[in-house]
Structure 1
Amino acid sequence: MSVNPRVIETPVVSAVAKDGIEVNVRARITVRANIDRLVGGAGEETIIARVGEGIVSTNGSADSHKEVLENPDLISRTVLSKGLDSGTAFEILSIDIADVDVGKNIGAFLQTEQAEADKRIAQAKAEERRAMAVAQEQEMKARVVEMRARVVESESAVPLAMAEALRTGKIGVMDYMNLKNIEADTQMRNTLGKPAEGSNSNDQGDSKNGR
């Protein structure tokens, strides 16, 4: 390992500014071997990892990706001030930003994904409500059928109850006849209240013939 300065290039480091825009940065790190820490000190991989972490932290703290594009030296100064060479076999002399590019609009992508997820959730809830409405409708129909069955059952028990009442003397023959008359009168009123079939067509035919 030479004590002369040498340059370490980082791979492209991607980070997202606060405005949601991704910024891709590649840096050149000028280092010199630290003789006092040659034994037991961390190597190039640690330097690259720490610088990459510093780049991500600096870009992530920027309010806008434009700040990073307009002031790339801000990354250099911020990262260099963190003392990233501590515990390594190198002394960092300088960090130069070799390349800065705008990447994807991560913020917009995440918003789109969130909107799509919200849409799927809303559709699922709507389908759940529709299924519940159908189930309630079927339940109500079943209840109507059940109630009709109970009415029919109750009506079928009326003649038996009347016969039992007559047999035991709880009602007299005249009372029974009055009940039958009331029932017949009710049926007649219901029949008279219903319009006769074809009455409308007959009335229209008569009016046409009278013209």
Structure 2
Amino acid sequence: MEALTGLSVVVIVVVIFLLIIFFYFVPIGLYITAYFSGVKMRIFRDLIGMRLRKVSPQVIVRNMISAAKADIHLESGLLEAHYLAGGNVTKVVNALISANKANLDLQFQKAAAIDLAGRDVLEAVKMSVLPKVIETPMVAAVAKDGIQLKAIARITVRANLERLVGGATEATILARVGEGIVSTIGSSKSHKEVLENPDNISKVVLSKGLDAGTAFEILSIDIADVDVGTNIGAILQADQAEADLKVARAKAEERRAAAVALEQEMNAEVARMRAKVVEAEAEIPRAIAEAFRNGNLGVMDYYNLKNIQADTDMRASIAKPTEKKEKDKNG
């Protein structure tokens, strides 16, 4: 009797285990839900096959039911392929439902490609219906009169589903709009023109087609704020004047150094000439002595020479005070 009881317990455990395995591989409840929702699923080929292919039947069937209720007919094979590729089946189906309700032309292949590209396809559909406003950081630019202006713009964009795969992101839109603002302000003759008509910036920037190659369509560009910055022109002129002054000082110093060098060279030349004169004067006594020995110079000739020299020295001593007085007057 005890052996029979033990055998019964083992049989019950085995039956329960087999039932768990059966209902795991054969989701009867999910099949019934799909049947009454109008989604045709085959137990062995579809539901059990999903288990064997390591695909969650709950995810596939429930999303097919949601699509069917929105009058969107999807094949289970497409959803399975997207699931196995690592995509988010639920977001793709919800994006298709939202696009269908908003009368947007979005096919499953496009939505799956957007999702596999790493973008939020559901958020993209929502942005197509409800545009998003992006605010640029403060952009500084200088008008032709040298006055700096600082502007902030608000860009209203809508997702372009056709260009969402491979299209540039919001950062590209912000960079292009900032470049357009700088170019428009820089081409203005006066900063007053920009302050009087800030909408001109929006019109010029919007006409450049800055959304080309991006995942968005620019609907409008509005200048939110424009502030006057520093006088860049005056600062540049002051810096240029300071630079010119330094150049002039350097050139003047160069001329002064050249003049000093020339003066020193002339003084050296004068010193050399004086040395030659002194050397020549030193030869005079020798020449006189030589003339005496050769008989070319007599005693009377020598005394006459001395008298002439004394007369020259006297005249020179008389002329020195007069030259000093004239120098004092001129000085």
Partner amino acid for 2:141? A
Deviations 1:159-184 (A, max 9, x none): 22233344445x33255554344334
Specify the alignment match of 1:203 in structure 2: none
How far 1:193 sits from its partner (Å)?
A: 5.5
Query: Counterpart of 1:146 in structure 2: which amino acid?
Result: R
Asked whether 1:162 is paired with 2:265, we answer no
Return 78-87 or 120-129, whichever deviates more. 120-129
- Most deviating of 177-186 and 85-94: 177-186
Q: Which has the higher contact order (CA 8 A, sep 6+)?
A: 1
User: Secondary structure of 2:124's match?
Assistant: coil
Which residue matches 2:297?
172
Residue aligning to 1:46 = 172
1:182 is aligned to 2:308: yes
CA deviations on 1:44-101 (whole Å, 9 max, x unpaired) are 1111111011001100111111111111110111000000011111111111111111
Instruction: Please tell me whether residue 119 in structure 1 is matched to residue 241 in structure 2.
Output: no
More helix, by proportion: 2
Percent same amino acid among aligned pairs? 71
What residue in structure 1 maps to residue 272 of structure 2?
A: 146
2:124 aligned with 1:2? yes
Report matched runs for 1:83-98 at 5 Å: 83-98=209-224
What residue identity is the alignment partner of 1:2?
A
SS at match of 1:22: strand
Structure 1 pair 66–191 and aligned structure 2 pair: CA distance change class (3 A): closer
Counterpart CA distance in 1 for 2:192 and 2:260 is 55
Question: Whole-Å Cα distance in 2 between the matches of residues 8 and 188 of structure 1?
Answer: 104
Q: Is the contact between residue 288 and residue 297 of structure 2 (CA under 8 Å) also seen in structure 1?
A: no
Structure 2 letter corresponding to 1:117: A
Tell me, in whole angstroms, the C-alpha distance in 2 between the residues paired with 1:102 and 1:120.
32
> Does structure 1 residue 107 correspond to structure 2 residue 229?
no
Does the residue aligned with 1:187 lie in a helix, a strand or coil?
Answer: helix
Q: CA RMSD in A?
A: 2.1
TM-score, length-normalised on structure 1? 0.82
Q: Do the aligned partners of 2:169 and 2:215 also contact (CA within 8 Å) in 1?
A: yes
Larger strand proportion, structure 1 or 2? Answer: 1
Distance 1:95 1:135, change over 3 A: same
Distance (whole Å) between structure 1 residues aligned to residue 144 and residue 153 of structure 2:
21
Structure 2 regions of 5+ residues with no counterpart?
1-122, 322-331
Return the TM-score normalized by structure 2.
0.54
- Alignment length, in residue pairs? 194
Counterpart of 2:155 in structure 1 is 29
Any unmatched runs of 5+ in structure 1? 196-211
CA distance in 2, matches of 1:176, 1:127: 56
Change in CA separation of 1:89 and 1:194 when aligned onto 2, cut-off 3 Å: closer
Q: Secondary structure at the match of 1:11?
A: coil
